[in-house]
Amino acid sequence: MIARGVMLGPDQPVILHMLDIPPAAEALSGVKMELVDAAFPLLKGVVATTDAVEACSGVNVAIMVGGFPRKEGMERKDVMSKNVSIYKSQASALEKHAASNCKVLVVANPANTNALILKEFAPSIPEKNITCLTRLDHNRALGQISERLSVQVSDVKNVIIWGNHSSTQYPDVNHATVRIPAGEKSVRELVADDAWLNAEFITTVQQRGAAIIKARKLSSALSAASSACDHIRDWVLGTPEGSWVSMGVYSDGSYNVPAGLIYSFPVTCKNGEWSIVQGLSIDEFSRKKLDLTAEELTEEKALAYSCLS
């Protein structure tokens, strides 16, 4: 996807740096062969390495997909301490060797807290440049609404994922709309089933990652890769006028979310910078859900810091 221009646009040449662990070195060299064989016009170079310094040198965009994976039945917290040490060392490599304006997207779970650890150990990378992936959840929410209403997914916009990329996340449709011939209509009005929107819709999106693991015996792959491309593309090239996306970003206290967490907010992007959409109304139901996922992130942060000592 990156080599085809899906992430950075059809006119942007790219050099791919791919890092893997030594036992996967041979498979990685096979991926490199395939990239060469695919003869992508935009692909100007491939670095395939097991050395984090070589991988991080000069990179402008870092997509952190490496982590200790969650297996079926495992809680994300079980893998915290393994990931804390991975993110601490990768943060140091990025801190020392990436381009000074490097944009970082953490995909591997626990994504929000991995991003926080990365921020902690890469202090020279601006905090605005360190984000985590909740666009996957955002896209899942769009997909559920589109299926329910039998409308094009591209006609649905402005869902919000608040909080953690976990089962406490809050997929919020209170500001979401669907394009109709006469303009736009709210999702709540069109679905006309608050019971579904306030229960099954939310749990389906919250549990989708686990449902995929159960079905595939592996984490989501295609949809995660595609939404990572969406995340970086919108961050670098901007969000369309009148619509926002969800990104896990460093909280500044907006919407009374504790500052200092990496929390998913609705954001718009322009000139390579994201800003949290301000002034959205939050009803009592939503408030509780925003607070619940913030509490989980506060606990995860404490757990992660306890693994550091």
- Binding residues, by number, are 20, 70, 76, 83, 107-109, 140
Q: With the CA atoms of 96, 101, 102 and 104 taken in that order, what torsion angle do they form, in degrees rounded to the nearest 10?
A: 110
Q: Is 136 in the site for ligand LMR (CB under 6 A)?
A: yes
Instruction: Identify the residue among 5, 163, 171, 209 touching ligand LMR (CB under 6 A).
Output: 209
Q: Please, are residues 140 and 205 in contact by the beta-carbon 8 Å criterion?
A: yes
Among 54-62, 194-202, 207-215, 258-266, which window interacts with ligand LMR (CB under 6 A)?
207-215
Instruction: Identify the residue among 50, 57, 60, 219 touching ligand LMR (CB under 6 A).
Output: 219
Instruction: Identify the residue among 2, 14, 212, 261 touching ligand LMR (CB under 6 A).
Output: 212
Q: Is the peptide bond before 110 cis (omega within 30 degrees of 0)?
A: yes
**Measured CA distances, 148 to 141, 188, 276 (Å):** 11, 12, 28
CA distance linking residue 35 with residue 65, whole number of Å = 18
Give min distance, CB of 164 to ligand LMR, in A.
Answer: 11
Q: Is 248 in the site for ligand LMR (CB under 6 A)?
A: no
Q: Which is nearer to ligand LMR, 209 or 266 (CB)?
A: 209
Q: Which tokens go with 89?
A: 């060392």
CA distance linking residue 30 with residue 47, whole number of Å = 12
3-state secondary structure (DSSP) of residue 46: strand
Q: What residues are designated binding site for substrate?
A: 70, 76, 109, 140
Name the residue number minimizing CB distance to ligand LMR.
209
Give catalytic residue positions: 165
**Can you give the binding site for ligand LMR, defined by CB under 6 A?**
70, 109, 136, 209, 212-213, 219-220, 224
